[in-house]
Structure 1
Amino acid sequence: MKVLGVDIGGTKIRMGIVDFDGQVVVDHVVPTEVPLYPYLEIQVLQLVKEHPEIRAIGIGTRGMVDAERGVITFETETLPGWQGTEVKSLLEKASGLRVEVNNDANCAGLAESMLGAAKGYRRTLCLTLGTGLGGGFVEDGKIMNGTHGGACEVGHMILYPGGHVCSCGRPGCSEQYVSGTALRRFIAEQNIVDENNQLVSPNQLFQLALEGHTVAQAVTQKFTSDLAIVISSLQAVLDMDCVVIGGGVSESADSWWELLMSSLEPLLLKPLDVKRAKFGNEAGMLGAALLVLADEKESASKK
């Protein structure tokens, strides 16, 4: 008996069939298409048909999610028409299976808390540094969702009032300074180019900083300093045991981790463990499966 975990991103959907031991036994990726819901239903039902041992479905997605109702309460035009979709009720009716829905960063946090870098900690904050800046807070195995599904939307904390306008429409959100998108904007603004006069990637930026490129060093220092402010501000609110940093930008963390630690240390109110994520691109999918895995496992054990 198994469950299905689905991770919905702006460009691809990753679907994994996970057994009761938390092992991914089938990993399937398809491109994201819009309108999203009808396409998602077709993809999920096909896997359920091929694998009748699936007992429940967990879905992690971009945007804010009312986890109790399984409704997308906010999403930008990255996924047009997704906002307002009643995913849980629609997919339960179509599949005949239990469905749970949550934000993708929350799902990544659940995976790291239960099985990954933060296993054994009671209160974990997971930050996902990718196209944007996501966050998920897990306490004693439970995700903090908030009233409208917007808890721990750390990318939309105001970091610089009156700053760069965010995709949410407000100026100065933290993900406009701490994300892959932000780094690419800084690179373009400073015209940091390679030997072919092409703008460098964030990974190349960090390497240039290590090699002594002064402008790249300044951008890297600003990025790590801003990330440190975000973490210290969240510590003042959440008092977490552990912070896990994941997402695509974290793959280059060898180049900037020491800078982050030196920026963060004087800002912390209390000691804090900061770790790199154990799971890469599969974190959201695995965490989505965990939304339903424990309950289904317990239910099966009682039969």
Structure 2
Amino acid sequence: MEKVLGVDIGGTEIRFGIINTNGQILYEEKILARDPLYPYLEENVLRILAAQQEVRAIGVGTHGFVDPERGKVIYSPRILSGWSNTPVKEWLEKATGKHVEVENDANVVALAEANFGAAQRLNRVVVLTLGTGLGGGVLWDGKLLSGGPNGGAAEFGHMTLYPNGVKCICGRLGCSGMYVSGTALQRRIKEAGLSITPPELFGNASMDPHAKKIVEEFTTDLALVISNLQAIFDMEMLIIGGGVSEAADLWMDSLQQKLETVLLNPLEVEVARFKNDAGILGAALLVLEE
């Protein structure tokens, strides 16, 4: 049975998984991301391939604006320096001798959920990944809406949510990702003078009024983002993935209450079935044969 390597590159960590054609994860590991990113990525891919010699191809999902045709990162905000203009496909194919495909990280989550998860048999699906930043992926009539002349299709984290708001790492003010992401939660926690992590924040919200206020602000902003996306795409389902989604059972009721007041039409909202594994599964799907 064919085996491929799926790589999920986020703002703070890199996840690797060996996947077979049934979507089974045979091997998985994660490491912290490091500057400069590409040499570190190549070093670890070669290490894994040396131990997993049956791997036929490599699929990479990465944060940032991606040109999937060339397998190149066009632009990456300053989460990790030196990632913009990196020809990942070209360099990694030369280093490994394997076929390589590269896509935006939220797009590969959409692929995973469409093929193996919550969005099976659906045609129009929007995915939000709530991690270090806010990523977006769209399945339109069953196909990925990706690329664009600048590789920036579905970069929902850079839609303006609050004009003249918090400065984003892209340099503009009020981007959605500065209010709806793990980084946004950390900022809100710091501004409130609390000494807790985002997972602890959600756990404390039922008892601590300061934590509850932050969660309410977070779900209010997330509901606004979802409402705006529904007005554009009129999707059948919205799927939420990324690290923040792992605590969704603690904040989903609050989100659903907020959505009732802002949605144009009823909308099914689901947590990514594979949670943080969706990234490596979707990346693997870029190179798995039918």
TM-score (norm 1): 0.88
Partner of 1:276: 271
Write the deviation string for residues 272-302 of structure 1: whole angstroms up to 9, x where unpaired: 1111121122211111001111xx2x3xxxx
Note if contact 2:126-2:239 (Cα within 8 Å) is conserved in structure 1. Answer: yes
CA contact (8 A) 2:68 2:147 kept: no
Aligned-partner residue type, residue 290 of structure 1: L
Cross-structure match for 1:196: none
Partner amino acid for 1:41? E
Match of 2:109 in 1: 108
Counterpart amino acid of residue 162 in structure 1? N
AA matched with 1:149: G
Paired residue secondary structure (2:56)? strand
- Pick closer, same or farther for the CA change 1:264–1:26 going to 2, 3 Å: same
Q: Which residue is 2:280 aligned to? A: 285
Percent of aligned positions that are identical = 54
Residue 83 of structure 1 deviates from its aligned partner by 0.7
Q: Aligned equivalents of 1:219 and 1:117: distance in 2?
A: 29
For 1:29, the aligned partner's letter is: K
Residue aligned with 1:282, SS: helix
Counterpart CA distance in 2 for 1:14 and 1:105 is: 14
Is the contact between residue 210 and residue 255 of structure 1 (CA under 8 Å) also seen in structure 2? Answer: no
Distance (whole Å) between structure 2 residues aligned to residue 4 and residue 207 of structure 1: 35
Equivalent position SS for 2:287: helix
Task: Tell me the residue number matched to 1:202.
Answer: 198
1:163 to 165, 186, 202: 165
Structure 2 distance, partners of 1:120, 1:27, is 27
| 2: CA distance, partners of 1:203 / 1:23 | 28
Q: Which residue of 2 aligns with 1:223?
A: 218
> Is 1:237 aligned with 2:232?
yes
What is the CA-CA distance between 1:123 and the residue it aligns to?
A: 1.5
Amino acid in the other structure paired with 1:277: A
The Cα shift of 1:140 comes to 4.5
Aligned pairs for 1:31-42 within 5 A: 31-42=32-43
Q: Partner of 2:80 in structure 1?
A: 79
- Identify unmatched segments of 5+ residues in structure 1: 193-198, 299-303
CA contact (8 A) 1:57 1:292 kept: yes
| Alignment-mate amino acid for residue 158 of structure 2 | H
Aligned to 1:246: 241
Calculate the TM-score normalised by the size of structure 2: 0.92
* Residue identity in the other structure for 1:253: A
Shift of 1:133: 1.2
SS in 2 for 1:205: helix
Q: Is the 8 A contact 1:114 1:141 kept in 2?
A: no
Deviates more, 1:133-142 or 1:94-103: 133-142
Structure-2 residue corresponding to 1:90: 91
Aligned amino acid, residue 271 of structure 2: R
Q: C-alpha deviations, 1:129-172, integer Å up to 9, x for none?
A: 12221111123543211412211111111000000101111000
The alpha-carbon distance between structure 1 residues 132 and 273, as it changes in their structure 2 partners (threshold 3 A), is same
Counterpart of 1:289, as a letter, is: A
What does residue range 49-60 of structure 1 map to in structure 2 within 5 Å? Answer: 49-60=50-61
Q: Give the conservation status (yes or no) of the 8 Å contact 1:17–1:27.
A: yes
Q: How many residues of Structure 1 are paired with residues of Structure 2 in the alignment?
A: 288
1:29-48, CA deviations, whole angstroms, 9 ceiling, x for partnerless residues?
33433322223223223333
CA positional deviation for 1:255: 2.3
Structure-2 change in CA distance of 1:39 and 1:189 (3 Å): closer
Counterpart AA for 1:138: L
Distance (whole Å) between structure 1 residues aligned to residue 13 and residue 214 of structure 2: 30
CA-CA distance at 1:89 after TM superposition: 1.5
Rounded to whole Å, the distance in 2 between the matches of 1:53 and 1:202 is 39
Q: Tell me the distance in 2 between the aligned counterparts of 1:22 and 1:5.
A: 11
Once structures 1 and 2 are overlaid, which stretch shifts more, 247-256 or 229-238? 247-256
Gaps of 5+ in 2: none
Letter of the structure 1 residue corresponding to residue 64 of structure 2: G
Query: Is 2:130–2:241's contact at 8 Å kept on the other side of the alignment?
Result: yes
Within the candidate set 181, 184, 195, 1:182 is matched to: 184
Distance 1:4 1:162, change over 3 A: same
